[in-house]
Amino acid sequence: MRANRGRDTGPELALRRSLHSRGLRYLVNAKPMGEGRATADVVFPRDQVAIFVDGCFWHGCPDHHRPATRNADFWREKIDTNRVRDTQTNEKLAAAGWIVVRVWEHDDPVQAAERIDHLIKELRTHPRRA
């Protein structure tokens, strides 16, 4: 398990390359609200947008997650806990005015970057009111 990276994974790097090629600049591996446990993979502080790239196994992707056969109870509880934490993070950030975007590791990074680019441009063209 130590070989699993917490940051700079292949899917994260691919998404960041695609965002960067579109001229977008962002923070990497940052805490959107400056505190707490939640660390987003990509953060647009000015626009209050936090991007999380979720691994299919670790976050229980509905399409690709395959439950572990060894130590099944442990892993089921671990994945369920991750899902609950993801939901809590989404709610906490939304309550503070942030937009949360979750991208699965299997999502096409170019399409995900396109969605994010569109969101950022929309926010910069039509800012939200506090």
- CATH code assigned at 93: 3.40.960.10
Q: Is residue 2 part of a domain?
A: no
Instruction: Answer yes or no: are the C-beta atoms of 15 and 109 closer than 8 Å.
Output: yes
For strand 99-104 and strand 49-54, is the pairing parallel, antiparallel, or unpaired?
parallel
Instruction: Answer yes or no: are the C-beta atoms of 40 and 50 closer than 8 Å.
Output: yes
Q: Is residue 3 part of a domain?
A: no
Q: Is residue 15 part of a domain?
A: yes
pLDDT of amino acid 7: 81
Q: Is residue 97 part of a domain?
A: yes
Model confidence, pTM: 0.89
Q: How many domains does the chain have?
A: 1
pLDDT of amino acid 1: 45
Q: Is residue 4 part of a domain?
A: no
For the chain, give me the number of helices (H) and strands (E)? Answer: 3, 4
Instruction: Answer yes or no: are the C-beta atoms of 21 and 3 closer than 8 Å.
Output: no
Q: Is residue 106 part of a domain?
A: yes
Residues in the chain with pLDDT < 50?
Answer: 1-2
Domain with 27 in it: 10-37+47-124
